[in-house]
Structure formats: C-alpha cells, structure tokens
Amino acid sequence: MISAYFNGKFVEPNESVIPIDERGHQFGDGVYEVIRIYDSKPFMMDEHLDRLYQSADAIKLRIDPNREALKNTMLELIQKSGLTNLDLYVQVTRGMAPRNHLFPDGPVSVSMTAKPFRSIPVGDKGASVILHPDERWENCYIKSLNLLPNILAKQLAYEQGYLEAILVRDGKVTEGTSSNVYIVKDSSIITTPLSNHILSGITRMVVKNLAGHLRIPFVEKQFTPDQMVKADEIFITSTTLEITPIIRVDDKQINDGTTGTVTKALQEQFKKIF
C-alpha cells in the first residue's frame, strides 16, 4: 500500500528521498497539518485546510491556490493507503534551492504521509502533565515546522513519566506543546483565549460547539498555574489526543484524581460525532 506523497508522486515513505537543499529540511521553512480520518471520513478537513492556508499566508508562503487540487491529492493518498482509520500529515515548505536565507523563486514542496492511529496512551484513566516556561516565539498561531521549544519541553515531560508539558508565559497558562488546555471550575469550562500566543486548535473549535450543545458555559479567559491546580477538572485536546483528562499537574493531584463529569460528558459527545 502506498502511504506517502512528495511533489507529484505517490510513494512508500522509505522510498521518498528529500533533497538536501530542501527548505523544510534545512530551515524548517514551512507549515503543516495533522488531520484524522475516522472510518474513511476525514474529520474537519476544510477547517484544517483553512488553517494550513492561514499559516502559509502568515509566513508569506505561496501555497497552491488551487485548494481543490490539494484536497484531492490528500483524498487520493487516503484511498491509496488502504487505511480506514488514519492520521494524514501534510507539510508545505518553501521548496528546493541552494541554501540561502532569502526566499527562493521556485515552487513550494508538498509532502504527505498516511499512518494508522497511534493509540491514545491514557484513554479514560487520565494523564499527568508538567508545567514549563513557554519559550516559543510570538507567533504560535502559525502551525510552523519550527517546533524545537515544543519538542524539548515534551521530551522533558516524557523523561519524568508525564504525557505533556503545559506552557506558561508571563504567569498565565497558554497551551500544551501539542495540545490546547482547559480547566473546569464550578461547572464552567475555562480556556485560554485565542491570540498569537496559542494555536487555534480545530479540536478546540469542536469542544466549544459541544459545550454549547451541552449548555456548559465555555469561557475564554486566561488562567494561572495556581488556578489550574485548584481546578475541579483539567483536560487537553488535539487531533490525535482527542479529549484527554488530566488528573495530575507536577506532583499535585487534581480533585480526587479521576476523570471529572464535564470531561466525561464532552468525551461521550465527541464519540457520537463519528
């Protein structure tokens, strides 16, 4: 089965050789998306495409204006992969040119992979997170390939036995290294408002809609690490982690250390979408 694509060719991932002078490889000069496909049905694909184009625009990357063609290539890869439940990774970079910081004139590079779901490591049991300084730049709304601060913080969490690092900037919680973060207090969901300091998560958008459906107040305001550890519930979301309960922050247990009722209600509604 074919499970990758690079600049016009469907290939096996190990067959595809990225040229040395490729801007994604040399500079991380590009943007990406991760889209989940449930039972052969892409989930929120148009919203992911919107964000891909917004990210590209923000870094002055001239992505293929024919959005339908790009979407069709994505759908073709899904079909060729033979998988029904998969994560589709799409990356667009500023293309190939001898290494020079200035923008090249040539076409962009597009690569994609289709991989079976990695299982969610914690499921309903809940996971633990650490708090970590947000050392990223000012433009975290761009889904850029430059993820060094994210991977360093995530690795640190992993080495200590935690699932995720939750980032803190100027005394306020921003988001996880690859997830958005929410607390529940007095039956309201509170999450960091959208700004240039967080990624506008597609799962966040879904959770906001589900909260509306369940008539649970969804409050977009900043909160501190202290408010986080004193919350009734915490959960994080992403395309691959879906809605993951958090039951421990550093060495502090949250509430009674089990998944809370609001988180459970959201998880149940989320499952009903597919």
Q: Please, what is the minimum distance in Å from the beta carbon of residue 100 to ligand PDD?
A: 28
- Which part of the chain contacts ligand PDD (CB under 6 A), choosing from 70-78, 157-165, 175-183, 251-259? 175-183
- Note whether 201 binds ligand PDD by CB under 6 A: yes
- Note whether 267 binds ligand PDD by CB under 6 A: no
Q: Which two tokens stand for residue 250?
A: 């550093």
Closest CA to 92 of 60, 52, 54: 52
Q: Please, what is the minimum distance in Å from the beta carbon of residue 256 to ligand PDD?
A: 27
Which single residue is written with the structure tokens 């990695």? 118
Q: Which residue's CB is nearer to ligand PDD, number 96 or number 164?
A: 164
| Pairing verdict, β 233-238 and 242-249 | antiparallel
Q: Which residue's CB is nearer to ligand PDD, number 78 or number 88?
A: 88
Say whether 143 is catalytic.
yes
Q: Please, what is the minimum distance in Å from the beta carbon of residue 203 to ligand PDD?
A: 3
Footprint on residues 30-69 left by ligand PDD (CB under 6 A): 34
Q: Distance between CA 71 and CA 37 in Å, rounded?
A: 14
Q: Which residue's CB is nearer to ligand PDD, number 178 or number 259?
A: 178
Q: Residues near 3 by Cβ (< 8 Å), separated by ≥ 6?
A: 12, 13, 77, 80, 81, 83, 113, 114, 115
Q: Distance between CA 243 and CA 271 in Å, rounded?
A: 10
Which residues, in sequence order, are bridge partners of residue 11?
Answer: 4
- Note whether 192 binds ligand PDD by CB under 6 A: no
Catalytic site residue from 41, 60, 125, 143: 143
Residue from 179, 259, 263, 267 touching ligand PDD (CB under 6 A): that is 179
The 8-class DSSP code of residue 179 comes to S
- Note whether 239 binds ligand PDD by CB under 6 A: yes
CA distance readout (Å), 225 to 167, 174, 228? 9, 10, 5
Q: Please, what is the minimum distance in Å from the beta carbon of residue 120 to ligand PDD?
A: 12
Q: Which two tokens stand for residue 60?
A: 């002055």
Q: What residues act catalytically?
A: 143
Q: Provide the binding-site residues for ligand PDD, judged by CB under 6 A.
A: 34, 175, 178-180, 199, 201-204, 237-240
